[in-house]
A and B are shown apart, each in its own frame.
Chain A
């Protein structure tokens, strides 16, 4: 009877260890999934660039200047 209790206790430990091992191993996949979700910096989804347009309006009698 006592031996059977010891065996049951050992089996419970083995079960817990196996569950933990499987969980840790599958955790590698979860890391991969997570890293895929993070692939690509959101900042890379938008880009901005600038250009310039310029001129000079010379003074004339029409715009308040002198000839």
Chain B
């Protein structure tokens, strides 16, 4: 056998292998792309993760009031307490729902801190505290620690981690956020407001 014939044989084999590979791949693709008749079928889709949280109750307003004459401060919260003042009692905390299709990690950020929100210094100064608790059982599947849920924490004006894993399940996707304020008697009069921003990021174990 001449050297040219040997080269032909090698090329022929290579071409045969490539042609067979091409045939297999092409048949596989055509098989998935055509409407080939079959007694079984598969429908497939991919659900992209989407974090979505909504405040079902997005406002707390105690109206107008003042610190009583005798104490040096008043305490009000969204659990119905009005102590040492005459503001309108509020018994409804903010309610946050996980409406997405994924569990999320939640943090809260207030637009200001107690001194800027309320002001004054009498009676130990102002306080602006938030408390997160389950409105539906186990909504916060993984809290930050053992005391994180159900405990008032001073607002710092920066992002404060609140719940490591906020459940997406419909029966357990509600968190309640209560607000507790201490108002010194010498706090400047006027309208006071603060915005609470909830940030949800897709939970990663």
Instruction: Verify that A and B bind, or say they do not.
Output: yes
Least CB separation from A35: chain B residue: B46
Number of interface residues of A (CB under 8 A): 41
Chain B residues 3 to 38 lying within 8 A of chain A, measured CB to CB, are 4-5, 7-8, 11-12, 14-15, 18-19, 21-22, 25-26, 29
Range class of the B interface residue count: 35 or more
B79 in the interface (beta carbon within 8 A): no
Which A residues form the contact surface with B (CB < 8 A)?
A: 1, 4, 7-8, 11-12, 14-15, 18-19, 21-22, 25-26, 28, 36, 39-41, 44-65
Task: Give the docked Cα–Cα distance between A52 and B117 (Å).
Answer: 12
CB contacts (< 8 Å) of B103 on chain A: these are none
Q: Quick check: B54 and A49 within 8 Å, CB to CB?
A: yes
Contact for B188 among A11, A12, A57, CB less than 8 A: A57
Q: In the bound complex, do residue B185 and residue A62 qualify as a contact, i.e. CB atoms below 8 Å apart? A: yes
Q: Once the chains bind, are A52 and B193 in contact (CB under 8 Å)?
A: yes
